[in-house]
Amino acid sequence: MGLEIERKYTVNNLIFERLKKLATGVDIRQGYLNTAPERTVRVRTKGEKGYLTIKGKTVGIERAEFEYEIPHSDALALLELCEPYLIEKTRYTLSENNMIWELDVFEGIHKGLIIAELELEDKDKIFNLPDWIDKEVSENPIYYNSALSKNPWIEQQ
């Protein structure tokens, strides 16, 4: 069984503009076939690849995670079956303070939202936050992608 330990943060949009020049982005489209708190089932295209991901219930910042590569054409077909609001974002990966950060810049109905994610091997790991972090939102469900698939960010502002 895979275990995901992830912390999430909002990002200062103005500072992000300088960061974007330092990182490479990849386009992601994802949707949810199941968004029950006990389990989520996600379909994603990342560039020209497709993925099916099953995640267990989040406890603090940890949850079980199983991810499988699937044919891109299958992922596109499965996206048609998902919750009404697909997630469209560009993911930038960059290294800062010896940590690998993934910054998701949302588009479409979630435009304006930028989330930084940090996957950890130990939930108690201590690290320094970069200056472009606003606040931690790891345990705030409105920032979960599965919640965004049902409630557009633009309507939450």
Q: Sign of the C-alpha dihedral, residues 61, 64, 68, 73?
A: negative
Of 9, 32, 92, 143, catalytic? 32
Structural domain boundaries enclosing 84: 2-156
pTM value is 0.90
Please compute, for residue 118, the number of CA atoms within 13 A of its CA located in the half-sphere on the CB side.
26
Burial class (CB in 10 A: 0-12, 13-18, 19+), 81: exposed
Q: What is the pLDDT along the chain (157 residues), one digit of tens a residue?
A: 588 889 999 998 777 777 677 777 899 999 999 999 899 999 999 999 999 999 999 898 899 999 999 999 999 999 999 988 999 999 999 888 889 999 999 999 999 899 999 999 888 888 899 988 999 999 999 999 999 999 888 766 6
Specify the CATH number for the domain of residue 60: 2.40.320.10
- Total number of domains constituting the chain: 1
pLDDT digits (tens, 9 = 90+) for 66-77: 999 999 999 999
**Residue 32 known to be catalytic:** yes
Q: How far apart are CA 149 and CA 24, in angstroms?
A: 25
